[in-house]
C-alpha cells in the first residue's frame, strides 16, 4: 500500500467505506474459516466496527473486552450494557506495572525507545535509539532525550501486560483471531503497519483484520449519526478518546485537556493515578519533569530538578 492510496481512500464516501469494511471482514472470515472475534473497547470506533459486522456481515462473531481496571466507569458500564460481550482481565495491576517498568509517556514508540536506550545491553541498539538507523529512523526525538537521564523509568510495557497479553491468552485458548477497529491515520505506528500489510494481515500469531483502517474520526461520527448508534456518554462531556484514564500518550500535544477533564470529573481517580510511583517519583512529578500542561503542572515547558 502507499500513503497516496490511503489519502485517496480516506476521501471516499461513507457508503464506499462501509462497503470496503464489509469486504475486508468478509475476506478475513473466509480466509480464517470464521475463526475470529471482535476486539471491543467500548469506545466509538470499535462500537462502529461492531455494528458494521453485526448489521452487514455476521451476527455470531463474539466480541471481547479487556477490562484493565483503568477505563472510565461510564465506558465499563456501557460495555456491560452491550449484548454478549466476553470480558477478560489482565493478571497484573497497573500500580505494579508502573513500579516495575516505568510511566507510559509521550507515545508508545518514544517510550519504547527511551526504555531501550536506558536499559539495553546492546551498544548497537542504544546507538540506534540515540542516533537513528542508517536511514535515520528509530531514534528518540531530540526534545525527549533528556528522559534517558530522568530519575524514573519510561516504558510502554503496560500496554503489553494490560491489553496484548490478555488478548493473546484468549486467542491461544480459543484459536480465534482479532478484528480490530483502529485507523491508519491515528499514529505513525498504525500507518506503517497499514502501509506494510493493508487492512488484513495473515501471519501466524499476528493474523488480524483492521477493517476501519481507511476511516477518519469524522466518518465514525457520521456513521453513528446515520444509524443512530448508542455510544458512551463520556464523549458528550468533551472527551475525544476512551482507553486508560491516566494514559499520557499524546498528552504533550498542544491543546490536550485529558488531565483537566479527569481532575474535573473524576477527582478521586485523578489523585489516585497521580500518586502512582516509579523509583520513588510520583506520576505527578514525572509529568512535571516532562513539562506537560496538566492541572498540577507548571503550565510552561520547563523541567524541574529533583
Residues 166-205 that bind ligand SF4 (CB under 6 A): none
| Contact flags string 57-76 toward ligand SF4, x per CB under 6 A | -------------x------
> Binding of ligand SF4 at residue 104 (CB under 6 A)?
yes
Q: Residue 204 is placed in which grid cell?
A: 501466524
Among 76, 114, 147, 244, binds ligand SF4 (CB under 6 A): 244
Query: Least distance in Å: CB of 113 to ligand SF4?
Result: 14
Rank residues 181 and 243 by Cβ distance to ligand SF4 and give the closer one.
Answer: 243
> Binding of ligand SF4 at residue 247 (CB under 6 A)?
yes
Among 101, 215, 249, 259, binds ligand SF4 (CB under 6 A): 249
- Core vs surface per residue 49-78: b (16+ CB within 10 A) or e: bbebbbeebeeebebbbbbbebbbebbbeb
Bridge partners (DSSP) listed for residue 277 = 282
Q: Under 8 Å CB-to-CB from 261, ≥6 apart: which residues?
A: 237, 238, 239
Alpha-carbon distance 7 to 214, whole Å?
8
Among 48, 210, 243, 273, binds ligand SF4 (CB under 6 A): 243
Task: Report helix, strand or coil for 303.
Answer: coil
Q: Which stretch binds ligand SF4 (CB under 6 A): 19-27, 31-39, 191-199, 241-249?
A: 241-249
**Which among 210, 176, 151, 268 has a CA at the least distance from the CA of 23?**
210
Alpha-carbon distance 22 to 272, whole Å?
42
Count of residues binding ligand SF4 (CB under 6 A)?
11
Q: Measure Cα distances from 105 to 28, 253, 256, 267 in Å.
A: 34, 12, 14, 21
Alpha-carbon distance 29 to 26, whole Å?
5
Q: Which stretch binds ligand SF4 (CB under 6 A): 49-57, 75-83, 118-126, 240-248?
A: 240-248
Residues 139-168 that bind ligand SF4 (CB under 6 A): 156, 158-159, 162-163
Rank residues 6 and 262 by Cβ distance to ligand SF4 and give the closer one.
Answer: 262
User: Which residues bind to ligand SF4, rule: CB under 6 A?
Assistant: 70, 104, 156, 158-159, 162-163, 243-244, 247, 249
Amino acid at each position: 500500500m502507499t500513503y497516496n492510496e490511503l489519502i485517496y481512500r480516506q476521501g471516499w464516501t461513507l457508503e464506499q467505506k462501509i462497503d470496503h469494511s464489509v469486504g475486508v471482514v468478509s475476506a478475513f472470515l473466509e480466509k480464517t474459516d470464521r475463526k475470529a472475534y471482535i476486539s471491543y473497547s467500548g469506545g466509538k470506533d470499535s462500537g462502529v466496527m461492531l455494528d458494521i459486522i453485526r448489521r452487514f456481515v455476521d451476527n455470531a462473531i463474539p466480541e471481547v473486552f479487556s477490562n484493565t481496571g483503568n477505563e472510565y466507569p461510564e465506558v465499563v458500564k456501557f460495555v456491560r450494557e452491550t449484548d454478549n460481550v466476553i470480558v477478560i482481565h489482565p493478571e497484573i495491576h497497573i500500580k505494579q506495572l508502573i513500579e516495575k517498568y516505568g510511566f507510559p509517556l509521550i507515545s508508545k514508540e518514544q517510550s519504547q525507545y527511551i526504555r531501550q536506550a536506558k536499559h539495553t545491553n546492546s551498544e548497537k541498539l542504544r546507538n540506534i535509539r540515540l542516533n537513528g538507523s542508517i536511514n535515520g529512523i528509530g531514534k528518540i526525538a531530540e526534545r525527549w532525550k533528556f528522559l534517558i537521564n530522568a530519575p524514573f523509568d519510561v516504558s510502554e510495557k503496560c500496554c503489553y501486560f494490560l491489553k496484548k497479553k490478555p488478548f493473546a491468552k484468549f486467542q491461544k485458548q480459543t484459536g480465534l483471531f482479532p478484528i480490530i477497529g483502529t485507523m491508519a491515520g491515528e499514529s505513525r505506528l498504525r500507518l506503517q503497519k497499514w502501509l506494510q500489510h493493508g487492512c488484513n494481515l495473515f501471519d501466524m500469531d499476528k493474523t488480524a483484520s483492521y477493517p476501519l483502517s481507511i476511516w477518519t474520526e469524522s466518518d465514525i461520527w457520521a456513521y453513528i449519526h446515520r444509524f443512530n448508534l448508542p455510544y458512551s456518554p463520556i464523549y458528550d462531556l468533551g472527551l475525544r478518546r476512551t482507553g486508560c484514564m491516566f494514559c499520557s500518550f499524546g498528552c504533550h500535544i498542544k491543546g490536550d485537556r485529558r488531565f483537566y477533564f479527569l481532575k474535573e470529573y473524576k477527582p478521586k481517580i485523578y489523585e489516585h493515578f497521580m500518586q502512582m510511583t516509579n523509583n520513588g517519583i510520583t506520576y505527578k512529578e514525572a509529568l512535571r519533569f516532562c513539562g506537560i500542561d496538566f492541572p498540577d503542572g507548571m503550565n510552561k515547558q520547563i523541567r524541574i530538578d529533583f
